Amino acid sequence: AQSVTQLGSHVSVSEGALVLLRCNYSSSVPPYLFWYVQYPNQGLQLLLKYTTGATLVKGINGFEAEFKKSETSFHLTKPSAHMSDAAEYFCAVSERGNKLVFGAGTILRVKS
């Protein structure tokens, strides 16, 4: 069975600082990996995805993530945080585009 663990339910950074949100996954088959963002009272928006190929994936709004098979990780980073990045972020894994299995989420707070 697939599973996702997001380390840190809350992360706080200063505006302009590096954002690092951690995600580790478990999968018995080569995984597809995703990061979604959710703003209050809204649905989920896809930030980026990894399926095959290049392990460093670039997404929207300056976010990127690196697939590390040996560490079973898919951490999300952004070099410089902006106030508008404050939201909840979800890491998810799927088998070949079928059901998504989500982590519990990380709430990102950006301090001015």
Partner 1 sequence: DAGVTQSPTHLIKTRGQQVTLRCSPKSGHDTVSWYQQALGQGPQFIFQYYEEEERQRGNFPDRFSGHQFPNYSSELNVNALLLGDSALYLCASSLEPGLNYEQYFGPGTRLTVT
User: Rule CB under 8 A: which residues touch partner 1?
Assistant: 4, 32, 34, 36, 42-46, 49, 51-52, 90, 92, 96-105
Minimum CB distance to partner 1 smaller for 18 or for 104 = 104
| Residue 56, CA distances (Å) to 78, 104, 109 in order | 13, 23, 25
CB of 60 to partner 1, least distance (A): 12
- Look at residue 21 and give its three-state secondary structure: strand
CB of 112 to partner 1, least distance (A): 25
Cα 16 to Cα 48: distance, rounded to the nearest angstrom: 21
* Phi, psi for residue 84 in degrees, rounded to 5: -70, -5
CB of 53 to partner 1, least distance (A): 11
